[in-house]
Amino acid sequence: MKSVNNAHDSEILRGLHAAIIDLVDEINRPRRDDRLIEEAGIPLDRALFPLLARVWRYGPIGVVDLADRTGRDHTTVSRQMSKLEELDLIERRPSLADRRVREATVTGKGQEMVDLLNAARERLANRILVEWTDEDLDQLRGLLRRFANDLMR
């Protein structure tokens, strides 16, 4: 990996920023989650979907960390986590690292729902990316992963 010490082209960086904002805006539209939930054929409230997805991705995870990742207030996330627990989609246990913290993991029923969501996401992605080659997608995946990793440092 080469080290670049000089500044990048401002026009390219502005274009990159605009593309990222457009992408985030589109991903955050409520209708996107509605379409995914409908495609999956599951009875899940749209407000709970991002939490279930992140518990699956990052679990075991506590309320504070989950609230930080979703940009929501921790009291709201705590109430929504209780709903997910009532639906038997997650379970919470004391953290091994800090017994005062309750961490959530996906239950078997929650995993089944996540599997349906992942299959629906793949079907929707295949419709959107019909003209993209596997090489295009692999290149995009690699660059996005690199960007995300650098952003998280």
Whether 80 maps to a domain, the answer reads: yes
Q: How high is the pLDDT of residue 99? A: 84
Q: What is the pLDDT of residue 30?
A: 83
Q: Is residue 3 part of a domain?
A: no
50 vs 7 pLDDT, higher one: 50
The tens digit of pLDDT for each residue in 77-123 reads 999 999 999 999 999 999 888 888 899 999 999 999 999 999 999 99
Q: Is the pLDDT of residue 27 over 90?
A: no
Contact predicate 141/135, CB 8 Å: no
Q: Is residue 117 part of a domain?
A: yes
The CA-CA-CA angle for residues 129, 130, 136, to 5°, reads 55
pLDDT at 21: 93
Q: What is the pLDDT of residue 126?
A: 95
Looking at this protein, which amino acid is placed at residue 7? A
d(CA 110, CA 42): 11
Domain annotation covers residue 2: no
- Whether the bond into 94 is cis, omega within 30 of 0: no
Contacts 24+ apart (CB under 8 A), 95-103: 95/60, 95/62, 101/62, 101/64, 102/62, 102/63, 103/59, 103/60, 103/61, 103/62
Question: How many structural domains does the chain have?
Answer: 1
In degrees and rounded to multiples of 5, residue 89 shows phi and psi of -95, -25
Judged against a pLDDT cut of 60, whether residue 2 lies above it is answered with no
Output the pLDDT for position 39: 95
Domain of residue 32 covers 10-152
With a cut of 70, say whether residue 6 has pLDDT above it.
no
What's the pLDDT score for residue 29? 86
pLDDT attached to residue 28:
84
Whether residue 63 is predicted with pLDDT greater than 90 in this model: the reply is yes
Q: What is the CATH number of the domain that holds 100?
A: 1.10.10.10
Q: Give the pLDDT confidence score for residue 98 in this predicted structure.
A: 85
In a domain? residue 124: yes
Q: Which stretch of 22-31, 73-82, 117-126 has the lowest confidence by average pLDDT?
A: 22-31
At residue 70, the 3 state secondary structure works out as helix
